[in-house]
Structure 1
């Protein structure tokens, strides 16, 4: 009866649980599969065996064990590995800030809130670990998970470190944006409203227009002079819009869509600055230029 021994210093229960799930299919096919435990120093070893023996059965056992371990490493241990990296390399951040960095890193690595691309990267990462585990178990019947991680999965650990570095950059950018929004909100609060209501139409090409409730382009000497100065400074459309709205300090801002993807960040900043002054139009002439109307019926 072939036996594969898996040693671990911590959290043996998670490995046992995942191994048992994987070996259950072998039991259903009539194989005699067993998991035994023994301690050796500070390590707990899981002894996995299957009977009857045979090349195909042994290969299936190795694959099942490797698959279980790759799942545990990526799904169970990865976040703790990242947390320790953050604590060790960026200990000067507060605990709350480290938690925010961890959230960013988790998304970068395909966790909750991740993009489809990051989730695909997570699957590829798990597949690479699975292949390396299988190659090792083809030549060895004993494996210590922590040792395998640190000596055989250096590329994987470097990938986690890169994700942590990106997460720190994301966190710092986010913090700067929050401070920027807070400052803009302060400027808005000390401004006297120049108009009651401004309608914002963002065009597919990225430009925008500001109109009054009747659909007429807003005219203001202060605004026109301001726009000239901003254009000469070569600022982005997003910065120009937010700055123009702060200059006008309207009591109400209505956004007409659809909002192009390139504007999503700018509109999010606008909402952060103007808060409950902002509302969205659900459809009108400003949202669809082919329908001539003077006023948004839903505003």
Structure 2
């Protein structure tokens, strides 16, 4: 292949320059004199076009191999451009077509997609896998061709890549709905607790690990956790261990809760603090904490 042209729709001069910047990576990596490239931005038509002419100094099989390497590199640059620049727009189209969400909900799902798709620092493998999907499709598409419309390629030729994005969008929407359900439930419990009269002056909540707790009264006598009927009636869902603790606390309706923990960032701790608000005081280290955790370690060693 001695000549190749690739064109795309662009929204503005900024997006045209983005496209050009990625293609400059290709020309910078090639040997001087081996190619000639031209870039044209047509604002009236909202189009950008880039062309490359190969000028191999070698002949025969060596020239063919040189041409292949250049097209492989072009495929890599275009694949990176699609994943880095065009992908958010593809995700937005999938969301708009498949789900009825308002703008704030779409933005929340897109943020989850961003995490799922591995665009954050330290998640290069997920991005690399998608780049390879686009690279493979692009390399197959341009074989024997002298030009390509990038928009048509993205729309009609990236089935595997599109399926991967659709799966991630589905997962992201599912997580968003679960998070929304959780937030709605927390809000309901906050409302319930706010209007509930205190029934117990003071209790200790000893956090063992994860969602494991022990509840003690003012005299440090253990209070058995309830069956969780309050939370179960309100949520109409299967109980988790932290639900049982929350339900017990709601049933006791303490005026003050001293929450002893060595893991203040644990989800169960955050949940209790959000629901009971100013009624909760956090304790990270006190004589009761020390005695409780020493006893827990000794019992664990025995068992």
* TM-score normalised to structure 1 length: 0.77
Unaligned regions of 5+ residues in structure 2, if any?
58-62, 233-237, 298-303
Residue 230 of structure 1 deviates from its aligned partner by: 4.8
Rounded to whole Å, the distance in 1 between the matches of 2:228 and 2:38 is 76
Contact 2:260 2:284 in 1 (8 A): no
Residue 158 of structure 1 deviates from its aligned partner by: 2.1
Rounded to whole Å, the distance in 2 between the matches of 1:264 and 1:151 is 46
Cα pair distance change 1:158/1:249, threshold 3 Å: same
Task: Find the residue that maps to 1:227 and give its secondary structure.
Answer: coil
What is aligned with 1:104? 112
CA RMSD of aligned residues (A): 3.3
Task: Find the residue that maps to 1:139 and give its secondary structure.
Answer: coil
Cα pair distance change 1:172/1:286, threshold 3 Å: farther
Rounded to whole Å, the distance in 1 between the matches of 2:75 and 2:102 is 37
Cα pair distance change 1:228/1:89, threshold 3 Å: closer
Q: How does 1:193-212 map to 2 (within 5 A)?
A: 193-204=198-209, 206-212=211-217
Range with greater deviation from structure 2 (3-12 or 278-287): 278-287
Rounded to whole Å, the distance in 2 between the matches of 1:98 and 1:107 is 14
Task: Find the residue that maps to 2:69 and give its secondary structure.
Answer: helix
Q: Does 1:57 align with 2:72?
A: no
Unaligned regions of 5+ residues in structure 1, if any?
293-299
Residue 242 of structure 1 deviates from its aligned partner by: 0.9
Rounded to whole Å, the distance in 2 between the matches of 1:36 and 1:212 is 78
Rounded to whole Å, the distance in 2 between the matches of 1:276 and 1:55 is 74
Match of 1:169 among 171, 174, 185: 174
Q: Does 1:48 align with 2:52?
A: yes
What is aligned with 1:270? 272
Residue 185 of structure 1 deviates from its aligned partner by: 0.4
- The count of aligned residue pairs is 276
Residue 133 of structure 1 deviates from its aligned partner by: 1.9
Task: Find the residue that maps to 1:74 and give its secondary structure.
Answer: helix
Contact 2:210 2:268 in 1 (8 A): no
Contact 1:201 1:209 in 2 (8 A): yes
What is aligned with 2:9? 9
Residue 8 of structure 1 deviates from its aligned partner by: 0.8
Rounded to whole Å, the distance in 1 between the matches of 2:204 and 2:145 is 69
- CA deviations over 1:35-62 (Å, ceiling 9, x no partner): 2135897753210234334234322321
Task: Find the residue that maps to 2:38 and give its secondary structure.
Answer: strand
